[in-house]
């Protein structure tokens, strides 16, 4: 050790370690909870009446598959949407 603890307080360093580390851990934990709430809010809200929790989100592959019959097909530049012609 660099500095010996006083004889009357032999456990002063572990106690100081706990007194400093506990609040730092608490603030880091609260900050991570806050960030999680912000991300959850940004991705669809936190309200109980939100429909984002019950509605299944489409993956990009599902979106392409469902729209490929009425739109351009990836890689096929000759196919055109026929449903909107006059």
- Per-residue model confidence as pLDDT tens digits over 76-86: 555 555 565 55
Tokens of 6: 């006083």
Domain span at residue 55? 12-67
Is 82 inside any structural domain? Answer: no
Tokens of 55: 């509605």
Is 17 inside any structural domain? Answer: yes
pTM flag (> 0.85): no
Tokens of 30: 């609260």
Distance between CA atoms of 50 and 28, rounded to whole angstroms?
A: 29
Number of domains present in the structure of the chain: 1
3 contact partners, CB below 8 Å, separation of at least 6: none
Distance between CA atoms of 79 and 19, rounded to whole angstroms?
A: 69
Span 17-68, pLDDT tens digits: 999 999 999 999 999 999 999 999 888 886 665 455 555 656 666 666 665 5
């Amino acid at each position: 050790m660099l500095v010996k603890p006083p004889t009357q307080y032999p456990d002063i360093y572990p106690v100081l370690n706990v007194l400093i580390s506990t609040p730092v851990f608490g603030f880091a934990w609260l900050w991570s909870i806050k960030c999680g709430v912000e991300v959850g809010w940004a991705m669809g809200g936190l309200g109980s009446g939100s429909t984002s929790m019950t509605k299944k989100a489409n993956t990009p592959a599902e979106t392409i598959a469902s729209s490929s019959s009425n739109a351009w097909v990836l890689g096929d530049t000759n196919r055109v949407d026929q449903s909107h012609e006059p």
